[in-house]
Structure 1
Amino acid sequence: MVCVDFAKATGILLNFVAPNGITRCSEDKHVEVTVEYQQVVNGSATGPIYSETVMLHGIDGSRSQIAKTLRIDMPFTGTFRFRAKRITDNGDHADLSDDTKFYLAYAFYESDKLIYDDVTLARVRTVATQQATGAQSREFNLIAHRKLYSFQSGEKSVDRMATSNFADIVCAMTTDEKIGRRDINTLDVVSLYAVADEINTYFGVPIEFNYTFDDAKMSYEEALATVANAVFCDARRESNQVFFVFEQPRDIPTLLFNHRNKKPESEKRSVSFGVNKDFDGVKIKWHNPADSWSETEIKLPNDNVINAKSLEISGITNEAQAKLLAYRALNKLKHKKRSVEFSAYHEADLVTRNDLILVADDTRPMLVSSGSVIEQYGLYLTLSQPCVLDENETYVIHLQLPNSQVDVIQLSQGSHEREVLLARAPTSQLVFEYEGNISCSTYLVTTDTHSKRDLFLITEKSGGGGESSITAINYTDQYYLNDKDYV
């Protein structure tokens, strides 16, 4: 007799197993088992004894395992005791196989609470096979789509909706009590949804994020970076507001670095031939919804690559998005030829990873001129360094503006070697040292044919608070050659 002490129990599940089937000479047999149970109150058996029977039948003369589950809904609630007895005698023959074992018993009750706020419940029914019941822990896969509130209209939506829009996901992560723990006002909501629409229009296919975060130690910032990495963006914060910046082809750099804002003798440039680390391609894993959401691998430029660079990107569930991410990585492998490292002063606090910058080459004598603007008279600029222009060549000046942009303007020689004449006025007012400013507008003069030669993309930045170390690679539109494959 077995006693089960469970005050909420309303039923019993009992499993019986015939490990070698129930048969004799390929003739099916059966085994009948009787189960008796009784209520227990304060440790004492109380009330009538109830009984139920269960029958195990052989199948097609097979000696394969047979199992049967008996479910009993008890007429009482609480602690009980039970016993099981075999009542079928098939004889004692050498070729008889009908050994039957009581395997496991469960007490159960039906929960009367089916809905929990902010909790997703998944109820799974498992067949009580020997392998299933012998498992120490259980895991299962399912397809779930979380419903979130949307802020696309500028206000919180009335109802939740199933969504894969990364803007909705970032809003939910930010306001979640256990993830972001922040007010929605810490997000630039308007910019976030505008960037999401811009990305979908640019690529011509839905760019989504579908991923289950299962690391309790992951920070809010790390989760933002995971989302941004999957949707071709960088997550940033300025003035205590988080926003996403879409990486795409561009012509206007964010900042100009020359000898006025770089640490002396800190610059190192290198030129590479071939592909870094001899990678012959890239590979990325994504989950294919058409194949039971199984993990699928894409290799580029073809399936024959041997030493492929592996891309660790989460949340990809469509092939087009996976290929676009892979092609960007492949194109950067192929077309990254030059890199630069240098230390910069406080202006470097204005830029971060994937920003486009203009870097004067201070590792060799200047091709034309680089320095700061001393004075302006109309379209005439007085420069801090000599600038001698060849009348048979076309030149441009790259001017650092106070609005964190670089203006590129054609120019010609002025009346002396430190004076130049602009083809048009700058798009913003310049800043001069004599007006009491700590830093003034800097410039870089190049030939027009080499205007993109000193453009770089930041790949790493460390430090801050007055001095930062920056690593960047050469910029080229070829990084984005395959962006329009699905337009």
Structure 2
Amino acid sequence: PWIVLANYIAVNGMYKDDGEEQSVITVEIETEMKQVNSEGQEILGTKQTTRRFIEGSDVLQNSRSESSFHTLTGNTSVENAKDKLWEVRARRITPTFDEKDTRFVDEVQWRDLYGLEYVENQTFGDVTTIMVRTPATAGALAVKQRKLNCLAWRKIPSRIPGTHYSFTNYNETNSDATLIIRHIALDPTLGNMQESDLDYDSMFTASSLNRTYFGTNQCVFFNHTFDNKDLSAEEMIIAVANSMFSTPYRQGSQLKLNFEQKTDMSKLLFNHRNKIPGSEVRNIRFGTSDNHDGVEFDWTDTSDGATETYQIPYDGSASNPKKIEIVGITSEIQAHMHAWREWQKIQYQNVAVEFDSTAEAAILTLNDRILIADNTRPDTNDGNIVSQNGVTLELSQPFVPDSGEDYTIFIQHFDGSVESLDVGAVNDATHVTVGSPPRLPLVLDADRYARTTYQIVKNSRVRPSAFLVKEIDPKDSYVVSMQATNYDDRFYAHDTDFLTGFFDEISDDTIIFIENWEDLDCPSGQWRLYENPGGFDSTVAFEIQNNIVGIGPAAQGVKHGELDGTNAIWVDLTTNPANTYSISLFYSPRPAVSQLDNQIDIYWDGSLVHTMATDGTNNTETVWETIELSFDAPSSSTTRLKFQSIQGDGVGGLLDDIKVTQIGLKPTYLRSNGDRIFQPDGVSIYRQPA
């Protein structure tokens, strides 16, 4: 070794007591070190000593300690002491105390001896090293197995904004769980996957949809240490995806993500034509699942590392709550969304169905929304469409409507998509008139396998026909066993709580508008025109693009907009004169287009506040710039935000991920002795601290 470290401790303290008062005493300890040969004989010129004092207290009687830290030198140099054999001994220099009628507490123990070397390396490969110094107190020594808790962020590559999924230097991250999934998947000791095995369009679209849907970045956060060596990469990826309300799945060789949200779109329709006859079983539950009357959701508060419990009801009155813990949740907003989704499903998810389907069910993933006709009931109106004459459809099965009832027909097209149309009139038992023509050609030939199927549902029908996929089990090449539970919009009733201001007390910043056009239909490599693009109004059709050759990728997600000609898009925002508002967006000049053609002016309440004009003549793809602005609200309660192109050459600047954030909201609850007092709709609800 180069260094000798010896620890000495007076377990019972260091003092004297004459019966009237306690006094300080001090004991001197000497540590002697000498280099010896293999036979234990001293090598002359190497003996060294160091002395330390253990000082007592005239007040305290707890343990006292001292460490002797000495750098060794050989008979010629410090370097000569390295990798040699050393003998160490210690002795007490201070004589034993002895006074009449006085009690001395001065016993010293030699507790530890370490040989140390200086470490020149700053890093040790794929290992994190934390040095902790703990005083040798009685309490510290009583801990048999020492543990350390700390906050740490792993540095992983971050996506470069504006690139088609290129990644840059290692950065600290907890901001996007999809980046963590990527890192787990590509790590050679974990997932050992290749870049080509990851569907980045799917993964980052799920992240973008999450941010837009909840109105906050906090629902894609993930903070957790996987410290179980027996945990597989698949289990890690599922845990990370679950925290951001998504389901990972494989399609072919690629890993994809499916974000669960409120939706009116169903992926497949199952009726008598694609269900194995006699295989369907339905179970209907009355009351809540397992008689749960609430939810307790555990999450971690990063401010102090404590485990908090989010309770529904807030007052903790539930006698049989469902206890839930999802790893990686360190935001109360994120915990709130998870807890309320679970509670809503406990209340309203009460129908389960199992059946065997034809092979087309294999394209589904967990939590996909599907439509299922109730073939356990004789009054099911479903079948396939025989012929079409404009908006008149001929049905394969007789349909007799109830008097005074309205109906909707669901049509499954050849591509698997499901379309709903209003039933306008019933001409006879097998012919109905729909409100508009189907959006895709119908497959009517009797010799085709995937003929267009339908299901007719009474609008006033209470029993749900929309379901969420819970299990898919292919039995063989032609039959898939399915399990599903009913879908209900009420599952997601609290998903808008952040957007509606319920969390004003947690974050002073509230996103009041966000648009990135990810929800609009525009396939990869193509563009589409929209009269009213997403949340905006427009003077003429606005162009949405998705990775067009010669233009390039979006800044976030996969889609962006082009503002060309003398077009303008605008949105009227509800604002408060007492607040300040920030605007953030991505802007890129269109490649190979001049500065003037790329110019976009920003107007706030009718006033020009910013001009974006960058020359894209020498660019070969999008080069995104981050634009951040801040303004006060006008005296009125409505403010118009407008983007205006100034030159009509049919090309223009590009926009993406436009956000408007309200700054400086006032709290909606008070803190009192650790309790949180919510006041939604004027009703006080008390949440007990965990």
Alignment of 1:42-121 (within 5 A): 42-43=38-39, 44-48=41-45, 49-60=47-58, 62-75=60-73, 76-77=81-82, 78-93=84-99, 95-121=103-129
Aligned counterpart, 1:243: 256
Report deviation, 1:138: 2.9
SS of the aligned residue for 1:316 comes to: coil
How far did 1:314 drift? 0.7
For 1:484 and 1:414, how far apart are their aligned partners in 2? 39
Partner of 2:287: 274
List alignment gaps of at least 5 residues for structure 1.
Answer: 1-8
| Superposition map of 1:258-273 within 5 A | 258-273=271-286
| Residue 24 in structure 1 maps to residue 16 in structure 2 | yes
Q: 2:170 aligns with which of 148, 160, 166?
A: 160
Cα distance in 2, alignment partners of residues 326 and 91 from structure 1: 66
Distance 2:364 2:425 in 1: 32
Q: Shift of residue 414 of structure 1?
A: 7.0
Distance 2:361 2:89 in 1: 78
Percentage of identical aligned residues: 30
Cα separation, 1, equivalents of 2:427 and 2:144: 87
2:637 match: none
Q: How far is 1:268 from its partner?
A: 2.2
The amino acid that maps onto 1:51 is T
In 1, Cα distance between equivalents of 2:318 and 2:358: 43
Contact 1:458–1:472 under 8 Å retained in 2: yes
Contact 1:147 1:160 in 2 (8 A): yes
Q: How many residues align?
A: 476
Counterpart check, 1:474 vs 2:489: no
Larger relative contact order (CA 8 Å, sep ≥ 6): 1
Residue 426 of structure 1, CA deviation = 1.9
Distance 2:428 2:376 in 1: 27
Which residue of the other structure, out of 241, 246, 254, is the alignment partner of 1:228? 241
Distance 2:87 2:444 in 1: 92
Counterpart CA distance in 1 for 2:462 and 2:50 is 89
**What secondary structure is seen at the aligned counterpart in 2 of 1:222?**
helix
For 1:361-376, what aligned pairs fall within 5 Å after superposition?
361-367=374-380, 369-376=381-388
Conserved 8 A contact 1:432-1:439: no
Q: CA deviation at 1:433?
A: 5.4
SS in 2 for 1:262: coil
Amino acid at match of 2:398: P
Equivalent runs, 1:114-193 vs 2, <5 Å: 114-132=122-140, 135-151=143-159, 153-164=163-174, 165-193=176-204
SS of the counterpart of 1:357?
Answer: strand
Distance verdict in 2 for CA 1:271–1:375, change over 3 Å: same
Match of 2:669 in 1: none
Alignment deviations for residues 130-180 of structure 1 (CA, whole Å, 9 cap, x no partner)? 554565543201111111112353243331111221121111112111111
CA-CA distance at 1:228 after TM superposition: 1.6
CA distance in 1, matches of 2:291, 2:337: 22
1:211 aligned residue (207, 217, 224): 224
- State the Cα deviation string for residues 346-378 of structure 1 (Å, max 9, x = none): 1221223211111111112124x2112334454
CA-based RMSD of the aligned residues comes to 2.3
Instruction: After TM superposition, give the deviation of residue 335 of structure 1 in Å.
Output: 1.8
Moved more, 312-321 or 150-159: 150-159
The 5-angstrom pairing of residues 292-303 of structure 1 reads 292-302=304-314, 303=316
User: Which residue is 2:636 aligned to?
Assistant: none
Q: Distance in 2 between matches of 1:261 and 1:41?
A: 87
CA contact (8 A) 2:9 2:108 kept: yes
SS of 2:169 mapped into structure 1: coil
Tell me which moved more, 201-210 or 383-392.
383-392
**Closer/same/farther in 2, CA of residues 119 and 372 from structure 1, 3 Å limit:** same
Offset, 1:451: 9.3
Aligned match of 1:286 = 299
Aligned position for 1:5:
none
Change in Cα spacing, 1:328 to 1:71, as seen in structure 2 (3 Å) is same
Structure 1 Cα separation of the partners of residues 395 and 463 of structure 2 = 22
Aligned to 2:660: none
Is 1:462 the counterpart of 2:473? The answer is yes
SS in 1 for 2:36: strand
Partner of 1:3: none
Name whichever structure is richer in helix by fraction.
Answer: 1
Distance 1:198 1:424 in 2: 30
Deviation at 1:422, TM superposition (A): 3.5
- Contact kept in structure 1, 2:414 and 2:450, CA below 8 Å: no
**Partner SS for 1:334:** helix
Distance change in 2, residues 1:218/1:440 (3 Å)? farther
CA offsets 1:231-265 (integer angstroms, 9 cap, x no match): 11111221322221111111121111111111222
Which residue number corresponds to residue 35 of structure 2? 39
Separation in structure 1 between the aligned mates of residue 494 and residue 106 of structure 2, nearest angstrom: 67
Please report how far the alpha carbon of residue 474 of structure 1 lies from its aligned counterpart in structure 2 after TM superposition.
2.2
Residue in 1 that maps onto 2:208: 197
* Contiguous gaps of at least 5 residues in structure 2: 74-80, 500-690
Q: TM-score, normalised by structure 2?
A: 0.65
Q: Which residue of 2 aligns with 1:406?
A: 418
Amino acid at match of 2:107: D
Separation in 2 of the partners of 1:18 and 1:483? 60
With over 3 angstroms needed to count, the CA separation of the structure-2 counterparts of 1:429 and 1:451, relative to structure 1, is farther
**Cα 1:391/1:65, change in 2 over 3 Å:** closer
- Deviation of 1:270 after TM superposition, in Å, equals 3.1
Aligned to 2:356: 343
Shift of the 168–283 alpha-carbon distance from structure 1 to 2, 3 Å rule, reads same
Following superposition, the deviation at residue 322 of structure 1 comes to 0.3
1: CA distance between counterparts of 2:61 and 2:130? 36
Conservation of the 8 A alpha-carbon contact between 2:392 and 2:432: yes
Deviation at 1:67, TM superposition (A): 1.2
Describe the SS at the equivalent of 1:404. Answer: coil
Distance (whole Å) between structure 1 residues aligned to residue 134 and residue 318 of structure 2? 42
